[in-house]
Amino acid sequence: MKKLIFLIFFFLGFSVCSQKPHHGFVYISDIDSSIKKELRYLSKNNFIGKPIDGYKNNCIIVTKETALALQKVQKELLKKGLSLKIFDAYRPQQAVNHFVRWAKVLEDTLMKKEYYPNVPKKELFKRGYIASKSGHTRGSTVDLTIIDLKTNKELDMGSPYDFFGIQSHPFYKNITKKQKENRMLLRQVMLTNNFKPYENEWWHFTLRNEPYPKKYFNFPIE
């Protein structure tokens, strides 16, 4: 009976990424199942406060080239008792469209205190936090952090993921020495494995020589 209960909870609690991904894309779990994930836009834990269009399953999808590069990053981190944790990877255009629609509804500020306390919502476009096109939609951009496998906790990066503000700039000065070291650890291991950083967000990296540099996809994550 206990085994049966366990199996029921297992299948209810864990999503199965079993459909064949779009041509040229893979599930990261099929390449390296040790990489952790927390797909924020599948849940309410994001800057909008609602699940985002196009996110239908807890699966991390990327181009095959990106997955293989992330596997190399993970191997380096595992040697140190650490692991990658991915918040977002491939993002369908319908999700980006959802962001754009939300940004235009100025009275919807449900998550302002947590994600953009010092930025007027009407300036999110102007300051580059929201855009009509995203590198994520090309399939070779990832948002991620590092966790300590002993504690299963994220390393302290000095600002939360998806925080809209200068505190998220990789070289922001008003954080502790340890927080700076953690950011640079993530940055260096990604740079070493052929990723280029985004200068406004410590968590955002794109594979160099990405396979679809000018193509934006819209298939759902399922």
Q: Which residues of 170-207 are buried (b: 16+ CB within 10 A; e: fewer)?
A: bebeebeeebbebbebbbebbeebbbebbeebbbbbbb
Among the listed residues 38, 65, 201, 210, the single catalytic one is: 201
Identify the CA nearest to 160 among candidates 54, 35, 40.
40
Note if 107 is an active site residue.
no
Nearest to 131 by CA among 153, 98, 82: 98
Q: Which residues are catalytic?
A: 201
